[in-house]
């Protein structure tokens, strides 16, 4: 059946009213999906660029990081050695002041053959030409401020030499 519209063209209803509405809505949906897709692509592009920049910075910092790890290991080794050295220094008596004081208290006719530092004692062995020099040495040790309790362990005349061999044990003060 054929329909004829006798109304003037200005008063007539458009033929494609629902079609135009459907077309407009379809275009809007397509535009919305295109915008969402474009936004996702742009976000992915910027995120990939940030990842590349971060990887580049990491690659530039990697040698520095390796050096820091190496330096940290060396610092730990140094700290351990310093702790060990500190422990050993606390356990061992200070020898230099004792030796300097001993050198000042030793008479010229008396010579020392061995010194043995133990925990808080000093064992002295030596020789002298005259027993009187040994007595002077013992008196000097008894009056010393770093040494105390000087004990003559052994004194014997050496038949092969005109000398007296002796051994003295002294406690070190402040140990």
Higher pLDDT: 116 or 89? It is 116
- What would the pLDDT profile of 31-84 be if each residue is shown by its tens digit? 999 999 999 999 999 999 999 999 999 999 999 999 999 999 999 999 999 998
Q: Is residue 92 over pLDDT 80?
A: no
Note the pLDDT of residue 15.
67
Q: Which of 14-18, 27-31, 62-66, 150-154 has the lowest mean pLDDT?
A: 14-18
Report residue 124 CA to chain centroid gap. Answer: 42
Q: Is residue 161 over pLDDT 80?
A: no
Three state DSSP letters for 42-63: HHHHHHHHHHHHHHHHHHHHHH
- Burial of 133: CB neighbours in 10 Å, binned 0-12, 13-18, 19+: middle
Q: What is the CATH number of domain 95-172?
A: 3.30.1360.100
Predicted TM-score (pTM) of the model is 0.47
Note the pLDDT of residue 122.
84
């Amino acid at each position: 059946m054929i329909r004829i519209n006798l109304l003037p063209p200005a008063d007539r209803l458009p033929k494609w009213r629902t079609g135009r509405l459907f077309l407009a809505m379809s275009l809007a949906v397509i535009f919305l999906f295109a915008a969402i897709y474009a936004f996702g692509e742009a976000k992915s592009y910027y995120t990939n660029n940030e990842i590349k920049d971060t990887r580049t910075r990491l690659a530039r910092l990697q040698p520095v990081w390796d050096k820091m790890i190496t330096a940290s290991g060396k610092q730990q080794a140094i700290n351990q050695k310093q702790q060990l050295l500190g422990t050993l220094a606390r356990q061992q008596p200070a020898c230099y002041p004792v030796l300097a004081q001993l050198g000042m208290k030793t008479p010229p006719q008396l010579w020392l053959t061995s010194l043995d530092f133990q925990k808080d004692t000093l064992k002295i062995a030596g020789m002298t030409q005259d027993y009187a020099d040994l007595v002077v040495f013992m008196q000097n040790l008894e009056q010393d401020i770093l040494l105390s309790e000087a004990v003559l362990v052994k004194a014997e005349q050496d038949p092969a030499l005109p000398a007296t061999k002796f051994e003295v044990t002294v406690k070190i003060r402040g140990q």
